[in-house]
């Protein structure tokens, strides 16, 4: 806690000064780089092997599908030592990815899809384990900064890693990209092993937690439930809007490759948002912070509907800045307020509510854009986003005043 005359350190310094937080952030960067590279390459690889756009798109679905089992996978996190689980799962992924060296033709494509489904399931487990592990390994007043910087790191790797993965794939083929991802997970396992955990984390769980306990706990606490539902609704709207991106590019008279520019600008906005998240979360509290972020997301979509390059770029940057806010607010509040024994299941349930709607909305958005041009669809998304923002901020008051100060 700083005194009125002391200046709070910058978010990056707050995180780097904490040994557990800094090592965790490095592990996220390393593993996220390999993941972002492989996600793009998996679709390209499938397209080259089969010539099918549908099968290439199915790669993303294979990765997202395990989020539906989040509450059940999260129960695993509360039964074991979370730090050890992170080491084992990351090391296991490093070995699993080596199976992709056997994919040398369309008849071996089942190996790729099997690996992607298992990869997605491991991702659900590690997301929940990380949330629970970090919540007790990192001081409460650092959590907001760490979660914001984690978002920045994730968005930064999404900008850089696909380019590296595409170049590696073009030069050496899919197995070499899988090897790169395997190495990143091996390094991440070593970093997680070096993170000091709390005494509570070192104790094995002697109870057998029920999978749906996390859902019940999440639903039983209205302030947290409101944040998670608002985040899920925002992600659903983002999926609807994302389905119109190629139509936006077409309305600008640009080539389809211009979508890469729009994605990069949006990613840059998210990086900037993550750098400021900790300070803004402390200032406004989680509900107001989420509401302001959703409002920015809504505004960005309305601006992007205008058929001008400047509007598309500015709207993308604003969307990128606002979209992470409800996610970080919800997940940080879950970490701060959930009892340790339930944190794995509640975190997994929250991730399911937050991120599963995206997969559904992407398909819906692809259909809607066939009947509604971006000039119609995106303002509707913006109006719906404003309604979600109002709901997210309703009744903040004392809840934000207490949670905004940290644990």
Token readout for 340 is 């340790």
The CA angle 224-384-334, to the nearest 5 degrees, is 15
Q: Which residues of 4-32 are buried (b: 16+ CB within 10 A; e: fewer)?
A: eeeeeeebbebbeebebbbbbbbbbbbbb
**More confident call, 256 vs 77:** 77
What does the alpha-carbon distance between residue 18 and residue 195 come to, in Å, rounded to a whole number? 10
The three-point CA angle 345-350-355 to 5° equals 130
Q: How far is CA 228 from CA 215, 235, 331, in A?
A: 11, 11, 8
**Is the pLDDT score of 200 beyond 60?**
no
What is the band of 319 on the pLDDT scale with cuts at 50, 70, 90? very high
User: Can you say how many angstroms the Cα of residue 169 is from the centroid of all Cα atoms in its chain?
Assistant: 25
What mean pLDDT is predicted for residues 380-400? 82
Domains 10-198 and 210-407 share a fold: yes
**350-379: b or e for each residue (b if 16 or more CB lie within 10 Å)?**
bbbbbbbbbbebbeebbebbeeebbeebbb
Binned at pLDDT 50, 70 and 90, residue 404 comes out as: very low
CA distances from 12 to 46, 149, 151 (A): 39, 7, 13
- Max mean pLDDT among 57-61, 145-149, 331-335 falls in 331-335
pLDDT in tens, 88-115: 999 999 999 999 999 988 999 999 999 9
Confidence band for 400, pLDDT divided at 50, 70 and 90: low
Which candidate, 116, 107, 146, places its Cα nearest to that of 21? Answer: 146
Contact 275, 12 (CB under 8 A): yes
pTM for this predicted structure: 0.75
pLDDT at 382: 95
CA dist 364 → 53, 64, 233, 392 (Å):
17, 16, 14, 24
Domain assignments of the chain as residue spans, ordered by start: 10-198, 210-407
Contacts 24+ apart (CB under 8 A), 215-223: 215/71, 215/345, 215/349, 217/338, 217/342, 217/345, 217/346, 217/349, 218/334, 218/346, 218/349, 218/350, 218/353, 221/337, 223/287, 223/333, 223/395, 223/399, 223/403
Using the predicted structure, report yes or no on whether residue 381 has a pLDDT greater than 70.
Answer: yes
What is the pLDDT, as a whole number, of residue 68? 80
CA atoms within 13 A on the CB side of 317: 8
Share of the chain above pLDDT 70, in %: 87
Average pLDDT, the chain: 82
What's residue 203's pLDDT? 43
* Cα radius of gyration rounded to whole Å, the chain: 21
Q: Alpha-carbon distance 21 to 23, whole Å?
A: 6
Q: pLDDT confidence of 57, banded at 50, 70, 90?
A: low
Q: How is domain 10-198 classified at the CATH fold level?
A: Growth Hormone; Chain: A; (1.20.1250)
Give the Cα separation of 258 and 280 in Å (integer): 32
Concatenating the DSSP letter of every residue in 138-206 gives S-HHHHHHHHHHHHHHHHHHHHHHHHHHHHHHHHH-HHHHHHHHHHHHHHHHHHHHTS---HHHHSPP-
pLDDT band, very low/low/confident/very high, at 201 (cuts 50, 70, 90): very low
pLDDT digits (tens, 9 = 90+) for 118-171: 999 998 899 888 888 887 777 777 777 888 888 788 877 877 777 788 788 888
Identify the weakest region by mean pLDDT among 129-143, 213-227, 273-287, 320-334. 129-143
Identify the residue with better confidence: 403 or 183: 183
Per-residue burial over 112-133, b if 16 or more Cβ lie within 10 Å, else e, is: bbebbbbbbbbbbbbbbbbbbb
Would you say 352 and 205 are in contact if contact means Cβ atoms under 8 Å apart? no
Name the more confident of 31 and 292: 292
- pLDDT exceeds 60 at position 43: yes
Give per-residue pLDDT as tens, 334-373.
Answer: 988 888 878 888 888 888 888 888 777 766 776 777 778 8
pLDDT of residue 2 exceeding 60, the answer is: no
Q: Provide the CATH number for the domain formed by 210-407 in this structure.
A: 1.20.1250.20
Looking at residue 56, what is its pLDDT?
A: 76
**What are 250-260's pLDDT values in tens digits?**
888 887 667 77
């Amino acid at each position: 806690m700083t005194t009125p005359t002391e200046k709070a350190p910058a978010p990056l310094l707050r995180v780097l000064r904490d040994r557990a937080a800094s090592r965790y952030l490095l592990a996220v960067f390393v593993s996220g780089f390999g993941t972002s590279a492989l996600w793009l390459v998996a679709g390209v690889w499938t397209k080259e092997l089969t010539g099918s756009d549908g099968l290439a798109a199915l790669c993303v679905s294979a990765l997202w599908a395990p989020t539906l089992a989040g509450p059940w996978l999260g129960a695993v996190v509360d039964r074991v030592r979370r730090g050890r689980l992170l080491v084992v799962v990351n090391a296991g992924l490093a070995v699993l990815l080596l199976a992709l060296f056997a994919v040398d033709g369309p008849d071996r494509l089942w190996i790729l899809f099997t690996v992607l489904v298992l990869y997605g399931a491991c991702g659900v487990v590690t997301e929940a384990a990380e949330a629970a592990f970090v919540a007790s390994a990192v001081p409460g007043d650092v959590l907001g900064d760490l979660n914001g910087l984690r978002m920045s790191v994730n968005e930064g790797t999404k900008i850089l890693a696909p380019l590296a993965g595409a170049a590696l794939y073009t030069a050496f083929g899919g197995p070499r990209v899988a090897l790169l991802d395997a190495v990143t997970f091996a390094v991440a396992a070593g970093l997680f092993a070096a993170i000091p955990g709390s005494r509570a984390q070192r104790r094995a769980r002697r109870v057998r937690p029920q999978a749906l306990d996390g859902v019940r706990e999440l639903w039983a606490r209205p302030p947290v439930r409101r944040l998670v539902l608002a985040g899920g609704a925002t992600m659903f709207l983002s999926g609807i809007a994302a389905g119109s991106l190629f139509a936006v590019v077409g309305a600008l008279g640009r080539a389809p490759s211009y979508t890469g520019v729009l994605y990069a600008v949006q990613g840059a906005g998210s990086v900037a948002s993550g750098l400021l998240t900790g300070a803004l979360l402390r200032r406004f509290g989680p509900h107001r912070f989420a509401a302001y972020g959703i409002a920015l997301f809504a505004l960005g979509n309305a601006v992007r509907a205008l058929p001008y390059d400047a509007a598309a770029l500015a709207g993308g940057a604003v969307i990128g800045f606002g979209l992470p806010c409800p996610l970080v607010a919800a997940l940080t509040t879950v970490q701060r307020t959930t009892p340790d024994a339930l944190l794995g299941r509640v975190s997994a349930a929250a991730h399911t509510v937050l991120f599963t709607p995206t997969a559904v909305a992407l398909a819906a958005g692809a259909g809607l854009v066939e009947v509604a041009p971006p000039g119609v669809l995106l303002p509707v998304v913006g109006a719906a986003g404003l309604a979600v923002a109002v709901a997210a901020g309703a009744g903040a008051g004392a809840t934000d005043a207490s949670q905004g100060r940290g644990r």
